[in-house]
Amino acid sequence: MKSVKVYGPGCKRCETTAEMVREAAAKLGLEVEVEKVTDPKSIAMAGVMSTPGISIDGKLVHAGGLPEAGKLEGWLAS
Amino acid sequence: MSDILHHEHHNERPSHRPDWLWHLGVAGFVAVWWVVYHQLIPFSEWITSLVPVERHSHTGEAIAFFFYDVPKVMMLLTLIVFAMGVVRSFFSPEKTRALLSGKREGVGNVLSAGLGVLTPFCSCSAVPLFIGFVSAGVPLGVTFSFLIAAPMVNEVALVLLFGLVGWQVALTYLAFGLGIAIVAGFIIGKLKLEGWLQDWVREIHSGAGGAELIEGERLTMVDRYKLGIEAVKEIFGKVWIWIILGIAMGALIHGYVPEDLMVRIMGAEAWWSVPAAVVMGIPMYTNAAGVIPIVEALLGKGAALGTVLAFMMSVIALSLPEMIILKQVLTLRLIAVFIGVVGSGILAVGFLFNLIF
């Protein structure tokens, strides 16, 4: 089971990103745990400067803007 | 990691659309845009002629104004936002931070204000960005130059000023917006207020700040076009309603509000109008799109340019909701200094403009 964190202060794009992660995981048949991180301190500590950011199993893979669906699946699969 | 990203880039691009087709498509779009843009006056006259009102009546003026300005602004926005989206794809907050960290004040403030305009930025990530900068050793004043320039000098404001008021005013706005960001950041830096950050921010500041960075992806030109298109979609989703409402309001003022009223309230003679405009702008929170069409109509009716620009800058750069967001990282004292310094800059610009124009 992969642990995915979506970093963002709770704007609409962050919600969409979390939803996209779930969809991509469902498509790949992967079990993931999606956690939304909204606290600015934690966001900053993770090294995310532009939101939404995504980390998978502790590794930051994306920051700033909505991810592309194709890339998202690639990150989850690898 | 970067290998994987690379690989995917090539796979995921639709293979049936080769690069040259994209280049051709963008060139074709610009050509069509150019032709249509130059047909807008006949178009608006034609629409107005369909409405059964006297062309030179108040209503006729208002309708012609509306049907000329709305398509014009929409078209300008599409082109410029797309172009800026492509340009911004060459920049990122991470690269900007690397460029700015350890820069001396002065040079750093100038660079920072410029990068504030070019780096992709959303006010919702102002706090993480602020911490990211400060923790990487970007001086506080230099960080402020970035945070002032980024929202104030934006392409939506510039396009609207250019389209509705004129290129001279747009250019002056650009110059003074950057000027305020540079000078205000410089002054805040000189005041040495690092101690006025919230405690936890200082801890990150002094501790091991630099968290892991995402390795830079290499983008192809087609990826950049796509980012430009994304930018257009996003901006339009946010501002179209404000543009239409704003221009409709502008059209009403254009047609109906008596001229001498505005001259009396917002003319250059009334010295108190500039501070009043700045104070009024603080609690208002709208994007440039909502405020500028009104600005244009006010100008047309004799409101002084400096007063109107001061109002606009205050609405965009000093907004209450943004202060509430910044409260997470700045103490109230620091926010007060920020408002004081930026507000004085805006006041100065307002008075200066009323004097010159």
ipTM score = 0.79
Are B198 and B341 members of one domain? yes
Confirm whether B216 is domain-assigned.
no
Residue B71 is assigned to a structural domain of this protein: yes
Tell me the average pLDDT across B219-242: 86
Q: Which of B102-106, B168-172, B210-214, B317-321 has the lowest mean pLDDT?
A: B210-214
B357, pLDDT greater than 80? no
pLDDT for residue B60: 81
Structure tokens at B143: 């960080």
Q: Examine the domain organization and report whether B84 and B104 are in the same domain.
A: no
CA distance A54 to A37: 10
Which residue does chain A place closest to B231, by CA atoms? A65
* Mean pLDDT, range B278-295, rounded to an integer: 73
Say what the pLDDT of residue B269 is: 67
Say if residues A4 and A56 touch (Cβ distance below 8 Å): yes
Mean pLDDT of B1-20: 52
**Residue B130 in this model has a pLDDT that exceeds 90:** no
Domain boundaries, chain A: 2-77
Interatomic CA distance for residues B283 and B24, integer angstroms? 46
Model pLDDT, residue B263: 65
- Chain A partners within 8 Å of B120 (Cβ): 50, 64-65
For residue B251, tell me if it sits in a domain. Answer: no
Nearest CB to B213 within list A47, A51, A74: A47
Residue A4: φ, ψ to 5°? -110, 130
Predicted confidence band at A62 (pLDDT cuts at 50, 70, 90)?
confident
Residue B147 CB contacts under 8 Å (≥ 6 apart), including other chains: B116, B126, B129, B130
- At B52 the pLDDT is 81
Confidence at residue B42, expressed as pLDDT on a 0 to 100 scale: 87
Lowest mean pLDDT among A9-18, A32-41, B2-11: B2-11
Q: What is the mean pLDDT of residues B243-271?
A: 71
A40–B128: do the CB atoms touch at under 8 Å? yes
Q: Name the residue range of residue B55's domain.
A: 15-88+221-246
Residue B190 banded pLDDT, cuts 50, 70, 90: very high
Verify that B70 and B98 share a domain, yes or no: no
How many residue pairs from chains A and B have C-beta atoms closer than 8 A? 84
Residue A64 is classified by DSSP as S
Residue A65 touches chain B, beta carbons under 8 Å:
yes
Is B4 in contact with A46 (Cβ distance < 8 A)? no
pLDDT for res B267: 66
Q: Is the dihedral of CA B115, B120, B125, B128 positive or negative?
A: negative
Number of domains chain B is built from: 2
Is B215 inside any structural domain? no
Instruction: Mark yes or no for CB contact B128/A70 under 8 Å.
Output: no
User: Are both B166 and B105 inside the same structural domain?
Assistant: yes
B48 within domain boundaries: yes
Are residues B118 and B68 both part of a single domain?
no
Q: Residue B128 is nearest to which of A49, A61, A78, comparing CB atoms?
A: A49
Residue B43 sits in the same domain as residue B165: no
Note whether B309 and B333 are same-domain residues: yes
CA dist B353 → B9, B250, B253, B265 (Å): 50, 22, 23, 17
Say if residue B31 is in the same domain as residue B54.
Answer: yes
In eight-state DSSP terms, residue A61 is E
Could you tell me what percent of chain B has a pLDDT over 90?
A: 25
B301/B323 Cα distance (integer angstroms): 33
Write a three-state SS string for chain B: CHHHHHHHHHHHCCCCCCHHHHHHHHHHHHHHHHHHHCCHHHHHHHHHHHCCCCCCCHHHHHHHHHHHHHHHHHHHHHHHHHHHHHHHCCCCHHHHHHHHCCCCCCHHHHHHHHHHHHCCCCHHHHHHHHHHHHHCCCCHHHHHHHHHHHHHCCHHHHHHHHHHCCHHHHHHHHHHHHHHHHHHHHHHHHCCCHHHECHHHHHHHHCCCCCCCCCCCCCCHHHHHHHHHHHHHHHHHHHHHHHHHHHHHHHHHHHHCCHHHHHHHHCCCCCCHHHHHHHHHCCCCCCHHHHHHHHHHHHHCCCCHHHHHHHHHHHHHCCHHHHHHHCCCECHHHHHHHHHHHHHHHHHHHHHHHHHC
Which among A78, A51, A70, A14 has a CA at the least distance from the CA of B132?
A51
Question: Is the pLDDT reported for residue A5 higher than 80?
Answer: yes
Indicate whether B82 and B103 sit together in one domain.
no
CB A73 within 8 A of CB A24: yes
For A23, phi and psi rounded to 5 degrees? -65, -45
Output the pLDDT for position B286.
65
- With bands split at pLDDT 50, 70 and 90, how would you rate the model's confidence at B205? low
Q: A24 — contact with chain B (CB < 8 Å)? A: no
User: Bigger pLDDT: A41 or B40?
Assistant: B40
B273 has a pLDDT exceeding 50: yes
Q: Nearest to residue A48, comparing CAs of B211, B143, B119? A: B211
**Mean pLDDT along residues B84-106:** 88
Confidence of residue B259 (pLDDT cuts 50, 70, 90): low
| pLDDT at site B216 | 54
Do B101 and B232 fall within a single domain? no
Tokens in use for B268?
A: 């250059």
Nearest residue on chain B to A60, judged by CA atoms?
A: B214
Is residue B353's pLDDT more than 90? no
- Give domain status of residue B10, yes or no: no
Which of A16, A43, A49 is the mutation pick for testing B, counting most B CBs within 10 A?
A: A49
Burial of A78 (0-12, 13-18, 19+ CB in 10 A): exposed
Residues of B in contact with A70 (CB under 8 A): 8, 11-12
Q: Please tell me the predicted confidence (pLDDT) of residue B146.
A: 93
In a domain, B2, yes or no: no
The mean of the pLDDT values for chain A is: 85
The residue-averaged pLDDT of B32-39 equals: 92
pLDDT exceeds 70 at position B218: yes
User: Are B184 and B283 in a shared domain?
Assistant: yes
Residue range B32-46: mean pLDDT, rounded: 89
Please check whether residues B195 and B271 belong to one and the same domain. yes
Contact A77, A28 (CB under 8 A): yes
pLDDT of residue A29: 87
CB contacts, 8 Å: B213 with chain A: 47, 60
Tens digits of per-residue pLDDT, B69-81? 888 888 999 999 9
Confidence check: pLDDT of B249 > 80: no
pLDDT at B334 over 50: yes
Domain assignment present for B203? yes
The beta-carbon neighbor of A61 closest among B93, B131, B214 is: B214
> Which top CATH class is A2-77?
alpha beta
Average pLDDT taken over every residue of chain B: 81
pLDDT of residue A72: 87
Percent of chain A predicted with pLDDT > 70: 100
The C-alpha of A13 sits at a distance from chain B's nearest C-alpha, in angstroms, of 10
- pLDDT, residue B316, reads 82
Residues B216 and A61: their CA atoms lie apart, in Å, by 10
SS3 call for A33: strand
pLDDT at B185 over 60: yes
C-beta atoms surrounding B298 within 10 Å: 22
pLDDT at A9 over 90: no
Residue B239: what pLDDT? 80
Q: Identify any residues that bridge with A56 across adjacent strands, giving them in sequence order.
A: A4, A59
Sheet with A53-56: list strands edge to edge: A32-37, A2-7, A53-56, A59-63
Mean pLDDT of B92-110: 88
Active site residues of A: 11, 14
The single residue listed with the structure tokens 């398509």 is B71
